[in-house]
Amino acid sequence: GKDIFQMVESGDKLFMGESALINSDLQKIKDIGSDYYSKTKSKILELTRDDFKSLCQELQKSDIAKLDSVMHSGVISAKAYQIRKYDIEYNYAAHMMFYKMTYEWAYREKNNIPRTQRVLPIKIDTLSADYLDFITEEITNDPLAVISSGYDSFINYLKFQEILRDQSQDYPIIEIANDLSATGYSFTNEEKELLKNAKEIAALKKIAEPKEFYDNYGNKRRKFLIKYEPVLRGLYKKLEDRNVAFESIEKYLIENGVDFTSDEEELIKALKIHDNTKTMLKVREIQKSNRESTKEFYTKHRAFVSEWFTERQSKIRKEKLQTTFGIKPGFATDIMTAQDYCYRIVSQMTPVSEEKLEAIQQQILSPFISEYVAYCNERTIGKIDANKAKTGYVVNETPKTEADILFDDIMKKYRGKIVFVDFWATWCAPCRSGIEQIKPLKEEMANEDVEFVYITNYTSPKGTWKNMIPDIKGEHYRVTSDEWSVLSAKFNIVGIPHYALIGKKGEIIDPHLAHMGNEALKTKLRKYIKE
């Protein structure tokens, strides 16, 4: 609550106000410990994982010694020393957890490998509990750590450490259905049939995959699928199914330039034999017949399923933090829990009921963080109420027509105008950022012959979508899975946001309109408006 005034010129910075002294002191020592990234990245490819950790710890020790020397000279305050020491400690801790990404970036840079090449021809060591032994109760649950600029990265990297994550690759529809039933939901006849088949699959898998199988192949299969997940997403999307036989997985990975290790070749061979056993063929047959109904179930209950997985991951993370590192539920887990729920409440504009809010707050030990979740929930409710009075957005029904003329039928409404089309989703942060960016442009061009059309699909929960769009001026469509597939094929959509530019007669001017600044986009739109 204190005031600070800073004069920024080409020379020294000048601070005034109640916090002037501490900011002036921090300016004096800002370079101590600031070059850890460049010093370690330049050497990382020559080091083992443990050598990288040792280098970080040596550099941290040296930086703190430099800071101690400045402190002993009497030129900075104790408070400035405390803050900068926290910065150094948490920056290095976060950086040591960021080993795999730092290694990958250095390798790509050295070998000029683009990000579009998902799989690298190297094996980067995973981070074991022994490597991560610097993650202690003292450093993790220190509430004063929030004064450090590095604590947010520390919490983020810790939260998503592989060792703390739910490693299962399955979608436990039976468990989800049990919890959904406990809310009082009544299943449809189609859903009851789906769950009956899911139980049959579970029983068959127990026969086909006994403990001996899991001991030999379960963990290896899981790690293999996680390793190649970035590449396999294309196969899963193409088939609209994650239950894929290893013969198809092997073929797809080879087609995408993957060279297997000898151990991977042995694993694939064993799993292909396993896939062709009588029991597993029966499992796959049932899965295939259930494909559409399973997809419909997850789509219909998307919000519940998303929250279910979030809560399961939170529970597993807390358990593993305690069993692996001895970190008890406290300040850090409270922050992580609040982040999980506030993402949905704020970013997804999905406030919770009073009953649910109370249940969330019971999971949080820190009163301030608990109160902050309630504040976020109340603020979102207020924003939704305020949005109800907004105008300038139009919700459209998607035309019921043949697939090959779907987009043309959508565009009929806008004949005579240039149309900027934005394929987006409520959960897509870059989409939301792009939408926010062009708000001023839409206001500026409100009286010109241009329309802004926003198309999303079933992955945007209907409630979230309805809450968001009053703040997005333009024409809105929410299409089905099949309709999205048609549009994706037409515009070759491989990721979102995806933009397209349509002419006055409904012709496609640019099916892959690049993201650009407002001035450049305005120039482009006006060029075609004048034609």
Instruction: Give the residue from 91, 88, 102, 86 showing the smallest Cα distance to 52.
Output: 102
Q: What is the pLDDT of residue 300?
A: 86
What pTM was estimated for this model as a whole?
A: 0.80
- Residues 162-175 as b or e (16 or more Cβ within 10 Å = b): ebbeeeeeebebee
**Per-residue pLDDT of the chain in tens (531 residues, 90 and over written 9):** 567 666 666 566 777 777 788 888 888 999 999 999 999 999 999 999 999 999 999 999 999 999 999 999 999 999 999 999 999 999 999 999 999 999 999 999 999 998 877 778 888 998 999 999 999 999 999 999 999 999 999 999 999 998 998 766 566 899 999 999 999 999 999 999 999 999 998 898 888 777 788 778 888 888 898 888 888 888 887 887 788 899 999 999 999 888 899 999 999 999 999 999 999 999 889 988 988 899 889 888 888 898 898 899 999 999 999 999 999 999 999 999 999 999 999 988 999 999 999 999 999 999 999 999 999 999 999 999 998 889 999 999 999 888 889 999 999 999 999 999 999 999 999 999 999 999 999 999 999 999 999 999 988 988 899 999 999 999 999 998 889 989 998 999 988 999 999 999 999 999 999 999 999 999 999 999 998
CATH number of 393-530: 3.40.30.10
Asked if residues 206 and 213 have their Cβ atoms less than 8 Å apart, the reply is no
String of DSSP letters for 400-466? ---GGGHHHHHHGGGTTSEEEEEE--TT-HHHHHHHHHTHHHHHHTTTSSEEEEEEE-TTS-HHHHH
Q: What is the pLDDT of residue 267?
A: 94
Q: Cα(330)–Cα(334) distance, rounded to whole angstroms?
A: 6
H or E element at residue 512: strand 508-513
Asked if residues 104 and 26 have their Cβ atoms less than 8 Å apart, the reply is no
Q: What is the rounded end-to-end Cα distance, in angstroms, of the chain?
A: 56
Neighbouring C-beta atoms of residue 68, cutoff 10 Å: 12
Q: Cα(119)–Cα(259) distance, rounded to whole angstroms?
A: 10
Q: What is the pLDDT of residue 207?
A: 84
DSSP secondary structure letter of residue 261: -
3-state class (DSSP) for residue 476? strand
Q: Cα(282)–Cα(276) distance, rounded to whole angstroms?
A: 10
Q: What is the pLDDT of residue 10?
A: 56
Neighbouring C-beta atoms of residue 280, cutoff 10 Å: 19
Query: Within 161-218, where are the H helices?
Result: 173-182, 189-208, 211-213
Environment class of 483 (CB within 10 Å of its CB; exposed 0-12, middle 13-18, buried 19+) = buried
Two tokens, residue 369: 């963080």
Whether residue 121 has a cis bond before it, omega within 30° of 0? no
Q: Where in the chain is the domain with CATH 3.40.30.10?
A: 393-530
In tens, the pLDDT along 452-479 reads 999 999 889 888 999 999 999 999 999 9
